[in-house]
Amino acid sequence: MAAENALYAILSEKIKQNTLVLPTLPEIALKVRSAADDASINLNTMSDIIVQDPALSLGMLKVANSAILGRSVKVETVPQAVTRIGLKKIKSIATAMAIEQVFISRNEVVTLYMNKAWIKTVDIASVAMSLMNLYLKENKHSALSLDTITLGALIHNIGVLPILTEAENHPGVFANPTFLQQAIIKLSGRVGGEITRSWGFSDELTLLAESWSDLTILPSEVHYLDFIRAGAIYHNVFKNESTKVTLLNSYTKKGLLPSVDYMASDEFTAQCDNVRAMFI
């Protein structure tokens, strides 16, 4: 508890003094986001930017060929992938695909947690994206979008990174697995909000990073928070059984889930596996 309080005090003071070292978006994501904001950008120019990064190029091909886009004809080049995804969506999708590059560390214990955090993030994102895809098929005029939940789900737990970085800077005190787990639960939301603001993300995305685990915030209408929380239920992040039942009943009434037990179906598991394959 003393170590947890010490870390909380360090992080809180650094946030207050604006000295907390926040992770930066990968350079390729910054280039894509800047280009996407240029009204004169075209598909060829965007393709030229993306092809500079082999990992992002592969990621965009996976997205373009994924079942979630509902296309059966395979694309084999980045220009084809960009054309299929479209300039309107490319900003969020490219940023989402580049996020993995932020989860790196030199400390063995911290690396373990970075890897676990990324895999858990992808697991939850796969559920959120699969449910969003299903929801949009039944609600074609919804203001919600697949590209927004893709980015939102992949940055929802981004607040773990400065916590793990601080542990890396003080390995003798903080780089303890049991302690880190508790520190992440307690601190990651607040820090996640700081990161998304520093990246210039929308208030909507900041809310997801800051409040996805705060179950005192319960939107009455279908919200991106619901999809991320459904993913957290699926992967047993929320431990309280009555809380999970209450949320699932709510999501069924909202039309987010066809039935309370839908996520236990083989059909849904296959959908999530297909989405997950884009990132792992």
Of residues 144 and 3, more confidence is placed in: 144
Residue 2 pLDDT greater than 70, yes or no: no
> Is the pLDDT score of 83 beyond 70?
yes
CB atoms near residue 84 (< 10 Å):
17
On whether the CB atoms of residues 277 and 62 are closer than 8 A, the answer is yes
Confidence of residue 1 (pLDDT cuts 50, 70, 90): low
Residues 6+ apart with CB under 8 A from 202: none
Q: Tens of pLDDT along 150-174? A: 999 999 999 988 888 877 776 666 5
Q: Look up the pTM and report it.
A: 0.89
Structural tokens at position 43:
């598909």
In this prediction, residues 12-31 reach a mean pLDDT of 82
Q: What is the pLDDT of residue 172?
A: 65
* pLDDT, tens digit (0-9, with 9 covering 90-100), for 242-267: 999 999 999 999 999 999 999 999 99
Say which CATH number the domain at 239 has.
Answer: 1.10.3210.10
More confident: 65 or 251: 251
Which tokens sit at 60? 């965009």
Q: How many domains are there within the chain?
A: 1
Yes or no: say if 154 and 125 are a contact pair by the CB < 8 Å rule. Answer: yes
Q: Return the percentage of the chain with pLDDT > 90, whole number.
A: 61
Strand, coil or helix: 80:
helix
The b/e string for 59-77 (b: 16+ C-beta within 10 A; e otherwise) is: bbbebbbbebeeeeeebee
Q: Please give the residue range of the domain that contains residue 155.
A: 2-276
Query: Once rounded to an integer, what is the mean pLDDT over residues 92-106?
Result: 88
Interior CA angle at 31 toward 224 and 14, to 5°? 65
